[in-house]
Structure 1
Amino acid sequence: MATVPDHDSYIAAAPEAFRPALQRLRDLLGEALPDAEEMVAYDMPGFRMRGKVVASYAAFSKKIGVYFLAPAISEHAEEIAAKGLTASKTGVTFPPHKPAPDQLVTRLATASGKHADA
């Protein structure tokens, strides 16, 4: 995807099949991080608190990724694995037709926000 200025433009430019999951991530992250500011960095929409990007999301050719500060991922590693999701040090990926559970995304975002001062 080309560089986009904001969340709305990013979601609109994504393949149609990805848009509902991307919009859901945006909504969940915004609700879990009410004090965060929406921004775009590294061509990914995200949320920043106290100058630190605490959550972001992206569409790829066959999957969606949602990214957090590393401690949030490590704190929830067992739950991520139990849900059958693929995780890296800072993110979780999934196909657009099988999104990450809302409650898990919310817990990861909340944990990441708590680590913004670290």
Structure 2
Amino acid sequence: MPRFSDHDDYIAAAPEQFRPLLEQVRKQLARALPDAEERIMYDMPGFAIGGSIVAGYAAFSKQCGLYVSKGAIALHEKDITSAGLKASKTGVTFTTRQPIADELVKKLAISSRKELQL
């Protein structure tokens, strides 16, 4: 299993077609969580406040994911569905054909932070 030193390292190792998506999600998370610190935890990039990861993202062979709190997913379930995206309890998956909108990334990150009370 690869070990990544930072977000740049992670994105560089991701499948080429997903790199622009990951860069965009990273940029939106940084804007939504300006006081968060970029971290790698469990070999995935995330944004932490204190010791808690507020939001993270990842690339897989066929899709990418944005990972936030359960409450953030539940709160924005209609937005996720109307965007044509799929969600689990803590994540939203997206692809190059069906990217995640910047505004949805922002909403999810801010809601995750509020739920975690950070």
Establish whether residue 95 from structure 1 lines up as the match of residue 98 from structure 2: no
Deviation of 1:96 (Å): 2.7
Contact 1:73–1:89, Cα closer than 8 Å, also in 2: yes
Aligned to 1:81: 81
Deviation of 1:5 (Å): 1.1
Contact 1:50–1:116, Cα closer than 8 Å, also in 2: no
Please, what TM-score do these two structures have when normalized by structure 1? 0.94
- Write out the 4+ residue segments of structure 1 that deviate beyond 4 Å after TM superposition: none
- Secondary structure of 1:35's counterpart equals coil
Contact 1:50–1:117, Cα closer than 8 Å, also in 2: no
Please, what TM-score do these two structures have when normalized by structure 2? 0.94
Identity across matched positions, percent: 53
Aligned to 2:61: 61
Structure 2 unaligned residues grouped into runs of 5+: none
Aligned to 2:114: 114
Distance in 1 (CA, whole Å) between partners of 2:91 and 2:103 is 16
Distance in 2 (CA, whole Å) between partners of 1:47 and 1:96 is 23
Deviation of 1:23 (Å): 0.3
Deviation of 1:117 (Å): 2.3
Distance in 1 (CA, whole Å) between partners of 2:96 and 2:6 is 21
Aligned to 1:39: 39
Distance in 2 (CA, whole Å) between partners of 1:79 and 1:98 is 14
Number of paired residues?
118
Structure 1 unaligned residues grouped into runs of 5+: none
Distance in 2 (CA, whole Å) between partners of 1:20 and 1:60 is 14
Deviation of 1:97 (Å): 3.5
Deviation of 1:114 (Å): 1.4
Distance in 1 (CA, whole Å) between partners of 2:25 and 2:52 is 19
